[in-house]
Structure 1
Amino acid sequence: MINRLMDREDNISIIIAGMFAVIIGLGVARFAFTSLLPSMLSDYLTITFAGVLASLNFAGYLSGSILSIFIKDINQKVLLFRGGIILAIFSTIVLAYSTNDTVWVIARVIAGFAGAMAFVVGSAIVMMKLKMQSKTKAMGIHFSGIGFSILTTDLISRYVLSSNGTWQDSWVVLTFFAAVLSLYSMYILSFDKKVNQNTVKHKFDTKIFTPFVIILIMAYFAEGVGFVVQATFLPDIINNLPGLEGYGNLTWTLVGLAGIPSCIIWMRLAHKYGSVNIIIIALFLQMIGILIPTFTNNLYLNFLSGIFYGGTFVGLVALFMNLGGQLAKHNPVVLMGALTTSYGIGQVIAPLYSVYFIDLYGNYDYALYLTAFIVLGGILLLLFAKRFQTDKSL
C-alpha cells in the first residue's frame, strides 16, 4: 500500500496529492482566515481592515487564475504549482509573527495568488496525470477537497484556540500542517521527465459570445458576490446575532461538511435535469442562506444558513465552469477567462461594500440584503437567458 501511495502514476495517490494541494492553497492560504476572524477581530484586526484584506486576497487569486488559464505548457504548470505551494506556506507564517498592516496586505495578496497556483494549476495537473477513461467522478472527488479544506483548517484552528493558544499559534500550526502536506503533494504532482505536448491551436471565434453566454457571464458575477460575503464574514455574522455568541465557528464547520459532497451531487443533478435549471435552484438556496441571519437568531436556522452556503458555492463553481466548457467547444481559454474575471470582480467588490454598510449601520444586515439582491439578479438573468438557450439539454 505504501508503495502505491508513493507511485506518481497511481490514480489514488494523484487524487490524494490534489486534495492536499487544495487544503494548502484554499484551506490554509484562504479559508483559515475566515475561521480565525473572530479571534483576530478581538485584539488586532478591525472589521474594515479585514474586509480590505479579503478583497485583496481575492484580487491576488483573480490575477493568478487568469494567468493560469493562458499557461499551456504542463512543465511550466508544475513550476508554477510548486511556487504557489511555497508562497502559500510563507505568506501564512508571516501572519503569526507580524502585526504590521503593510506586511499583512502584501501577505494576503500573495496568498491569493498562491491559492490560484495551488488550486487552479494543481487541478490541471491532476486532470492530466489521471489515467482513466472518464475523469469526471475523480475530479468530483478532487473538488470535494474544497469542503475538506474548510473543515480541516477550521478544526485545527479551533483545537489550538481551545488549548489556550492564540490566533498567532494557529497560524504557526497551520503553516507546519501545510508544509507537511506540501512534501507529498509536490512529489506526486510532478513528472519524472519533461513532458512533450502537441497543443492544437484553434482560431478564436467571437461567435461563442452569444446573448446566452453574455448573460451567463453576468450571472457568474452575481455568484462571485454571493460566495464571498459569507466566505469572509460568516463566523462573525453568527457571533453577532443575539444569543448565538460563540456559535460562529461551529456554523463554519458545517459549511465545510456540506461542501464535501456538494460538487458531486450538483453535477449529477445537472446531468439529469440540465445545468441552467440546477444553477438557478442552487443560487436560490444560496440566496435564502444569505438572508437567514437577517431575520432570525434561531440557532438551527442559522446552522441551515451555513449548510446552504457550503452546499452551494462549491457546486456552483463546478456547474458554471462545466457549462462554460461545453459552450466554448474549441475556444475554452477566452470564455473561461471571461467567466473567471467576472466571478473574480464580484469577489473583490463584495467585501468592500460589506465593510461600508457594517461601518454605517453597525451590523451585517444591509450587506447581506444587497448580496441576496445581487444573487436574485443572477437568478432572474438566467431565467431570462433560457429564452436564448439553443441547446435545452445544457
Structure 2
Amino acid sequence: MSKDIPSTLQPWQVMVGGICGLVLSIGLARFAFTPLLPQLQLQTGLSDAAAGVLAAINYAGYISGALAAAWIDGARWRHRLYSMGLWLSLLSVAGMALSTWMPNWLLWRFLGGLCGATGMLLGAGLVLGWLMRQGRRPELGVLFIGLGLGIVVSALGAWGVDKIWPLWSNQWLAMAAMGLVFLIPAWLWRPPVPPAQPSASHAADAPKVSRRWMLTMAASYFAAGWGFVINATFTVAMVEREPALAGQGALAWALVGLAAMPAVFLWDKVARRWGDTRALLLAFGLQTVSVILPALSGSLAAALGGALGYGATFIGIVSLTLALVGRRAPHNPGKAMARLTLSYGAAQVIAPLVAGAMAQATGTFKGALWLTTGVMLLGMALLATLPEDETPSVHT
C-alpha cells in the first residue's frame, strides 16, 4: 500500500476520486478544447485544418500514453504515472494560454492527450482491479460518470468564462483554475496500489482472449474512435457555423455531457439483460444515427438530437468495451485496456486530420459526417461477427 494513500478508503471515496480524475484528465485536459475552439479560432485566426492538427496531436499523446500503459507491468509504476497525470492535466490546460505560437499549442495538446490516457486507462484499470478484489460487480458505468460530468463542466465552464473573460487566453487559465476543484478529491482518493500479481497457476484461471477476438474488437473499436473524435472535436464548431444556430454551441456540448451521465447506468443494465456484444451493437447503431442527423438537417432539433444521441452512446461503447476486455485480464486490466485502446487512439489521430482538411476544402462538415457514418457501419459489421461474451460477472 502506498504510504500517501489511506488504507481505509471507502468504496464511495474510490469512485468519487476516480470520477474527479476523469473530469480533470479527460473533461478538462481533453474536452476544454472543444467549447473553447470557436473563440480560439475567432481571436487568433486558427484555421480548421490547424484545429484538426491540434486535435490529432492530442490523440498522438493519447496513443503514447496508451503505449506506455500497455508496456508497464508494475502496479506501483502505473499508480505513479496516474498520479503524475493528474497534476500534468492542470498544466496542459494552463499552458495553452502562454502564447499563440503553434509549437506551444502542439506541446500542451500532446501532453493533454498523454494525461487523458493516464486517467482513462491507468485510472480505470486501478478502479476496475479494486472492484474485482472487493468482490464487486466489475463494471465501469459509475466511474464513467466522470466523462459526462467532464463534458458538462467544460461546456458550462466555457460558457461562464466567455461572459466574464472574453479574451481567449484568460479562458484557458480560468479552466485550469477550475480543475483545482477536482484535483483535490482525485488526489486524496486515488485507488490504492494493487497487490502483486498472483502466481501463474492462478493467472491460468483467467478467461482467454483469442487473437481473432482481439483483432476484431480492435478494428471495431477503431471505428468507434473515429465516430467519437469527430463529435468530440467539432460539435461546437459545427453548431456555431450554422447561421440559425449561432450562439448555441455550448448548449449542444452541455447536452452531450448531460446525456452521457445517466446513460452509463442504462448501458450496464442493457448489457446485463442482452449481453455485452448485443449492447455494443445497439450503441454503435444509435451513435451512427446521431452522427448523420446534423448532416441531414441544419436545424436546431437535428443538432441537439445528434448531441444527445452522441452523448448517450459513446459512453456506452467505451465503458462496455473496456470493462469487457478488463474482465478478461483481471490481473492487469489497465494493460489489456491500453492494448485495445491503441486502435481507438489511432482513429482519433487520423479522423480529425481528415475531417479538418475536408471542412477546410468544402466549408462544411457534412462530408466528414457521411464518411464517419460509413466507418461506424463497418465497425458494426465487424462487431456482429463476434460471439456473445460469456465471462461471468461478479455481484456485490
> 1:380 Cα shift?
1.9
Are the aligned partners of 2:61 and 2:114 in contact in 1 as well (CA < 8 Å)? Answer: yes
Root mean square deviation of aligned Cα: 2.7
Distance 1:49 1:199, change over 3 A: farther
> 1:327 Cα shift?
5.4
Q: What residue is the counterpart of 2:296 in the other structure?
A: 295
Q: What residue is the counterpart of 2:263 in the other structure?
A: 262
5+ residue gaps, structure 1, are 1-5
Q: What residue is the counterpart of 1:17 in the other structure?
A: 17
Are the aligned partners of 1:68 and 1:120 in contact in 2 as well (CA < 8 Å)? Answer: yes
Matches within 5 A, 1:329-348: 336-348=337-349
Matches within 5 A, 1:156-171: 156-171=157-172
Q: What residue is the counterpart of 1:66 in the other structure?
A: 67
Q: What residue is the counterpart of 2:116 in the other structure?
A: 115
Q: What residue is the counterpart of 2:178 in the other structure?
A: 177
Cα distance in 1 for partners of 2:194, 2:63 equals 27
Are the aligned partners of 1:8 and 1:190 in contact in 2 as well (CA < 8 Å)? Answer: no
Matches within 5 A, 1:265-344: 265-326=266-327, 336-344=337-345
Cα distance in 2 for partners of 1:121, 1:330 equals 13
Q: What residue is the counterpart of 1:36 in the other structure?
A: 36
Cα distance in 1 for partners of 2:388, 2:184 equals 47
Distance 1:268 1:75, change over 3 A: same
User: After superposition, what is the alpha-carbon deviation per residue over 1:27-83, rounded to whole angstroms, capped at 9, x for unaligned?
Assistant: 110001001111111112221111101111011112112322333333222221221
Cα distance in 1 for partners of 2:84, 2:217 equals 33
Cα distance in 2 for partners of 1:161, 1:334 equals 39
* SS of 1:243 mapped into structure 2: helix
> 1:210 Cα shift?
4.8
* SS of 2:247 mapped into structure 1: coil
> 1:348 Cα shift?
0.9
In structure 2, what residue type is equivalent to 1:38?
P
Are the aligned partners of 1:160 and 1:166 in contact in 2 as well (CA < 8 Å)? Answer: no
Are the aligned partners of 2:14 and 2:191 in contact in 1 as well (CA < 8 Å)? Answer: no
* SS of 2:315 mapped into structure 1: helix
Point out the structure with the larger helix share: 1
> 1:326 Cα shift?
5.0
* SS of 1:208 mapped into structure 2: coil
In structure 1, what residue type is equivalent to 2:246?
E
Are the aligned partners of 1:242 and 1:297 in contact in 2 as well (CA < 8 Å)? Answer: no
> 1:334 Cα shift?
7.3
> 1:359 Cα shift?
1.7
Q: What residue is the counterpart of 2:3 in the other structure?
A: none
* SS of 1:297 mapped into structure 2: coil
Cα distance in 1 for partners of 2:335, 2:118 equals 19
Cα distance in 2 for partners of 1:79, 1:119 equals 15
- Match status 1:241 vs 2:246: no
Q: What residue is the counterpart of 1:364 in the other structure?
A: 365
In structure 1, what residue type is equivalent to 2:352?
P
Q: What residue is the counterpart of 1:3 in the other structure?
A: none
Cα distance in 2 for partners of 1:148, 1:390 equals 31
Q: What residue is the counterpart of 2:48 in the other structure?
A: 47
User: After superposition, what is the alpha-carbon deviation per residue over 1:92-115, rounded to whole angstroms, capped at 9, x for unaligned?
Assistant: 111122111111111110111012
> 1:135 Cα shift?
4.2
User: After superposition, what is the alpha-carbon deviation per residue over 1:120-143, rounded to whole angstroms, capped at 9, x for unaligned?
Assistant: 222233345568431446x42211
> 1:392 Cα shift?
7.4
* SS of 1:30 mapped into structure 2: coil
Cα distance in 2 for partners of 1:250, 1:312 equals 18
Cα distance in 2 for partners of 1:271, 1:365 equals 36
In structure 2, what residue type is equivalent to 1:16?
V
Distance 1:121 1:336, change over 3 A: closer
Cα distance in 1 for partners of 2:125, 2:322 equals 13
Q: State how many pairs are aligned.
A: 382
Are the aligned partners of 2:129 and 2:194 in contact in 1 as well (CA < 8 Å)? Answer: no
Cα distance in 1 for partners of 2:87, 2:332 equals 32
Cα distance in 2 for partners of 1:113, 1:36 equals 20
Q: What residue is the counterpart of 2:26 in the other structure?
A: 26
Matches within 5 A, 1:376-387: 376-383=377-384, 385-386=385-386
Are the aligned partners of 1:7 and 1:13 in contact in 2 as well (CA < 8 Å)? Answer: no
Q: What residue is the counterpart of 2:105 in the other structure?
A: 104
Q: What residue is the counterpart of 2:217 in the other structure?
A: 216
In structure 1, what residue type is equivalent to 2:196?
Q
5+ residue gaps, structure 2, are 1-5
Q: What residue is the counterpart of 2:196 in the other structure?
A: 197
Are the aligned partners of 2:156 and 2:250 in contact in 1 as well (CA < 8 Å)? Answer: no
* SS of 1:215 mapped into structure 2: helix
Cα distance in 2 for partners of 1:103, 1:111 equals 12
Distance 1:12 1:332, change over 3 A: closer
Deviates more, 1:170-179 or 1:49-58: 170-179
Deviates more, 1:48-57 or 1:176-185: 176-185
Deviates more, 1:344-353 or 1:62-71: 62-71
In structure 2, what residue type is equivalent to 1:297?
G
> 1:173 Cα shift?
1.5
Cα distance in 2 for partners of 1:221, 1:119 equals 16
Cα distance in 2 for partners of 1:391, 1:124 equals 20
Distance 1:7 1:20, change over 3 A: farther
Cα distance in 2 for partners of 1:328, 1:185 equals 25
In structure 1, what residue type is equivalent to 2:374?
F
Distance 1:126 1:165, change over 3 A: same
In structure 2, what residue type is equivalent to 1:173?
A
* SS of 2:347 mapped into structure 1: helix
In structure 2, what residue type is equivalent to 1:176?
A
